[in-house]
Amino acid sequence: MNFQRVVIKVGSALVAPDKQGCSGQYLLSIARFITQCHQAGKEVILVSSGSVAAGRALIRHGSPNPSIPTKQAMAAVGQMKMMANWQRFFDVPCSQLLITHGDLKDRQRYINIKNTIRILLANGVIPIVNENDTVATEELKVGDNDNLAAQVALVSEADCLLILSDVDGLYRENPKDNPNAEKLTDVAQITSAIYQMASGTSNHIATGGMQTKIQAAEKATENGIATYILSGEDAQALEQFAQGVNAGTHFHAQQAPFKAKKHWLKHTLKSTGRVLLDAGAIKAVTQKGASLLPSGITSIDGRFAAGDSIDIIDVTSQSVIAKGISQYSYRDLAKIIGQNSNQIATILGYCPSKVAVHRDDMVILQSAINSEINTDSETDSKTVTTAKTTTPVVNQISRKEE
């Protein structure tokens, strides 16, 4: 298997094929595949739809398209059924994570989700994610579980996204209309032509939702996550996938995941504060691949929470030399700047991290990189070495909590 951590999205049509309650018909072979992954030392996160379908028969409704509150009630009762249905296929424990778009957009909650998934995986528990339908009003909704699965793949730093449904891949034309339609086995890049193929098939039940699958694939692949659309109804396709054979459509990752993370830090995250560094700290950060310690910070600016992005500034030139995710809020950081990290627990009464910004959560801006020392790729490879040889800060936090 050509991945280490996979997010598997399972559609409602597989969980509740007759839309009247849960069934084990397709879940059995999916569960077998997940167990095979575990046996091969891989980590698996499930994103499972099906709560509305599973609860449909338990809530009175008079129309084929019930109101939103009625569907929310169906989801609430169906979620329990669905989780029980999954758990019966595994000896290892399953866990339930219900999240909304609002949770993913909030930096503090994002870090909480990330930490929870990491600890669950480290304990051999299967995280099973669904949208929190009870609270998911329009602006909070991710909208569909394909896109939710892509977001989960990002937050969990997966290297593979597997979208299982009742379609077995992307076809050039609708296979219902043309039985000889060609299935694409490999998509090197998601272009408008690819979206066009998906739209041509979106009105048909068997291939419905292809658009959102392509959106999910685009989000994941541009962040370095290889994505596959595969039939979840075909036990053999899963068996083949476990042997490294693609029986569906493979959307190729556009770059290595760690490069994608740097890109995300640099271009997507908006900084909400600044920290100013003395010359020694600037050198340690830009030339030695070090994390940013509170002792090297001379002052801070702005109101930021733990988990927010901050600009890292050279106090002499006032230029931005790096961006990174703060381990502390501005209030706590203000109390420990200029101090040795061993003093943090005494000053704050707790010490979740000895660093203000961990190296793995930091990107050095090109303008700050001394040409004789670093090129962009050297900076990245240093980060990889750091990641392999040091304990990430988040792990230190979790060990304390455990």
What residues have CB less than 8 Å from 99, skipping those under 6 apart? 113, 129, 131, 132, 148
Between 133 and 332, whose beta carbon lies closer to ligand GLU?
A: 133
Q: Residue 160 contacts by C-beta under 8 Å, 6 or more apart in sequence?
A: 2, 3, 4, 5, 6, 7, 153, 225, 226, 227, 228
Output the smallest distance, CB 30 to ligand GLU, in A. 15
Is 186 among the annotated ligand-binding positions?
A: no
Is 103 known as a binding-site position? no
Binding range to ligand GLU, per CB under 6 A, among 19-27, 46-54, 328-336, 359-367: 46-54
Question: Which CB atom, from 75 or from 322, has the smaller least distance to ligand GLU?
Answer: 75
Q: Which of residues 55-74 bind ligand GLU (CB under 6 A)?
A: none
244 annotated to a ligand binding site:
no
Considering only the stretches 47-55, 98-106, 243-251, 322-330, report the one whose residues sit in contact with ligand GLU under the rule CB under 6 A: 47-55
Residue 78 among known ligand-binding residues? no
CB of 309 to ligand GLU, least distance (A): 30
210 is in an annotated binding site: yes
- Structural tokens at position 85: 């249905």
Least distance to ligand GLU, CB of residue 15, Å: 8
Kindly give, in sequence order, each residue whose CB lies less than 8 Å from that of residue 257, ignoring residues fewer than 6 positions away.
157, 159, 223, 224, 225
Kindly state the smallest distance separating residue 51's Cβ from ligand GLU, in Å: 4
**130 lines the binding site for ligand GLU (CB under 6 A):** yes
Residue 308: how many CB atoms within 10 A of its CB? 21
- Provide φ and ψ at 313, rounded to 5°: -115, 140
Is residue 103 involved in binding ligand GLU (CB under 6 A)? no
Annotated binding residue 326: no
Q: Which is nearer to ligand GLU, 167 or 362 (CB)?
A: 167
Coil, strand or helix at 102 = helix
DSSP H or E segment with residue 187: strand 186-187
| DSSP per-residue codes, 136-160 | --TTT---SHHHHHHHHHHHTT-SE
137 is known to lie in a ligand binding site? no
Q: Which is nearer to ligand GLU, 208 or 392 (CB)?
A: 208
3-state secondary structure of 358: strand
Of 98 and 121, nearer to ligand GLU (C-beta) is: 98
Would the annotation count 342 as a binding residue?
no
Span from 130-138, 174-182, 231-239, 283-291 in contact with ligand GLU (CB under 6 A): 130-138
Distance CA 167, CA 179 (A): 14
131 binds ligand GLU (CB under 6 A): yes
What minimum distance in Å lies between the beta carbon of 52 and ligand GLU? Answer: 4
Q: How far apart are CA 163 and CA 169, in angstroms?
A: 9
Q: What's the Cα-to-Cα distance from 114 to each of 103, 111, 227, rounded to whole Å?
A: 11, 5, 20
Looking at beta carbons only, is 213 or 359 nearer to ligand GLU? 213
Residue nearest to ligand GLU (CB): 49
Shortest approach of ligand GLU to residue 311 CB, angstroms? 37
Q: Is 166 annotated as a binding residue?
A: yes
Q: Which is nearer to ligand GLU, 14 or 355 (CB)?
A: 14
Q: Which of 26, 29, 104, 133 binds ligand GLU (CB under 6 A)?
A: 133
Q: Which of 209, 212, 243, 241 is nearest to 228 (CA)?
A: 241
| CA–CA gap between residue 181 and residue 224 (Å, rounded) | 29
Q: Is 356 in the site for ligand GLU (CB under 6 A)?
A: no
Tokens found for residue 60 = 């009175």
User: At 362, which helix (H) or strand (E)?
Assistant: strand 357-364
Binding string to ligand GLU for residues 4 to 23, with x set by CB under 6 A, is what?
--------x-----------
State whether residue 170 is helix, strand or coil: strand
Binds ligand GLU by CB under 6 A, chosen from 29, 70, 85, 145: 145
Question: Residue 75 interacts with ligand GLU (CB under 6 A)?
Answer: yes
Which residues, numbered 278-307, are part of the site for ligand GLU (CB under 6 A)?
A: none
Q: Kindly state the tokens that stand for 168.
A: 């077995």
Written as six digits, the tokens of 22 are 């849960």
Q: Which residues bind ligand GLU (CB under 6 A)?
A: 12, 49-53, 75, 130-131, 133, 144-145
Which residue positions form the known binding site for ATP?
Answer: 9, 165-166, 207-213
